[in-house]
Structure 1
Amino acid sequence: MTVTPDLARLRSDTPALLRSVFRRYAAGVAVITACGDAGPVGFTATSLTSVSAEPPLVSFGVGTGSSSWPVIAEAGHVGVHILGEHQQDLAATFARSGADRFGPATAWRTGPEGAPVLDGVLAWLVCRVAGRVPAGDHRIVLAEVLLGDPTGDGRPLVYHQGRFDGLRG
């Protein structure tokens, strides 16, 4: 049986189409951090992916127009933090342009290799940046896992339909 799409519903504005489709795709929420000469930077990412077990690699996307990009572009190491459902405010802070991301409301410390490490997350990694691949208005950063802590408590935070939420189960 062949199913033909309702052509009236098809979209050709591909940037809007991409955003619309991926609003329906639930994704885990991470915060990526790094430290530069002017201090720490960070951003909320839903593009975190496990790439390889041997060597242990992750990837994430970062917009070249973001305030964090100049530091990420030069950083040798990054922190990768998996957020829990109790951290919706933290996710929103790191997603908001102009926010004081490392202000008093954010519990963090300088971790191994100088990477900012957030407190109270489900899990965190410190990674060595292995490469930056151009991808349109973003860069895909490949990072080799060096060490971390997977022992935080709670359930993961997800991003779906334009908002942060917990899993239903």
Structure 2
Amino acid sequence: MTVPTDLGTPRAATPDLLRSVFRQHAAGVAVITAPGPRPAGFTATSLTSVAADPPLLSFGISTGSSCWPAVSEAGHIGVHILGEHQQELATTFARSGADRFAPPTSWRPGPHGVPLLDGVLAWLVCKVVARVPAGDHRIVLGQVVEGDPEGYTGTAGRSRPLLYHEGRFNALRD
């Protein structure tokens, strides 16, 4: 195997450099929801499994996000893994100023009042255990309290995740 040796021209560290590099990194797509007088939710590609025992996960959220006030106050949050059939849902929850929980979004109140989205591949409800400052974001640590790993399976009986790559939502290819 030949290993490429041209690393290109280094660029100074900027927000644009970070965004440009991470456009090359395919990520799973999730929607994070928080309860409140008006439920809140946003599309996240920063979801990470942190530990198995106790079961912990993390995600990042901008402190400038319209959802930050709800997430900053929430005792519990919902984590929804989206399937390839949910590009429109991902776009809705990524859109600024959208009424994300209005039709056609289908959802119901779940454990601890957390809004749960219908038709997702899997979901978790997590107790928020920390909000760690990280620049203009917070890294939220959640401890899983319950969930369902066997959500929507589609017409072929298989679950296929929605991915985010090069600034677009994508599906896996066979």
Output the TM-score relative to the length of structure 2. Answer: 0.92
What stretches of structure 1 move > 4 A for 4+ residues in a row?
none
Give 2:17's aligned amino acid. Answer: L
Does 2:20 correspond to 1:15? no
Output aligned runs, 1:131-142, within 5 Å. 131-142=130-141
| 2:25 alignment partner in structure 1 | 25
Aligned-pair RMSD on alpha carbons? 1.5
Tell me, in whole angstroms, the C-alpha distance in 2 between the residues paired with 1:75 and 1:33: 10
Deviations 1:27-61 (A, max 9, x none): 0000000012x310000000000000000000000
| 1:115 alignment partner in structure 2 | 114
Alignment equivalent of 1:156, drawn from 161, 165, 170: 161
SS in 2 for 1:39: coil
| 2:34 alignment partner in structure 1 | 34
Tell me, in whole angstroms, the C-alpha distance in 1 between the residues paired with 2:13 and 2:51: 34
Deviations 1:126-163 (A, max 9, x none): 00000000000000000000000111212000000000
Does 2:98 correspond to 1:93? no
Give 2:35's aligned amino acid. Answer: C
Deviations 1:53-84 (A, max 9, x none): 00000000000000000010010000000000
- Give the C-alpha shift of residue 4 in structure 1: 6.1
Deviations 1:94-134 (A, max 9, x none): 00001110001100000001100000000000000000000
Unpaired runs of at least 5, structure 2: 154-158
- Give the C-alpha shift of residue 13 in structure 1: 4.8
Tell me, in whole angstroms, the C-alpha distance in 2 between the residues paired with 1:82 and 1:30: 5
The number of equivalent residue pairs is: 166
Give 2:110's aligned amino acid. Answer: G
Deviations 1:2-35 (A, max 9, x none): x4644xx322152111000000000000000001
| 1:127 alignment partner in structure 2 | 126
Tell me, in whole angstroms, the C-alpha distance in 2 between the residues paired with 1:104 and 1:26: 29
Percent identity over the alignment is 70
SS in 2 for 1:18: helix
SS in 2 for 1:125: strand
Tell me, in whole angstroms, the C-alpha distance in 2 between the residues paired with 1:4 and 1:86: 39
SS in 2 for 1:159: strand
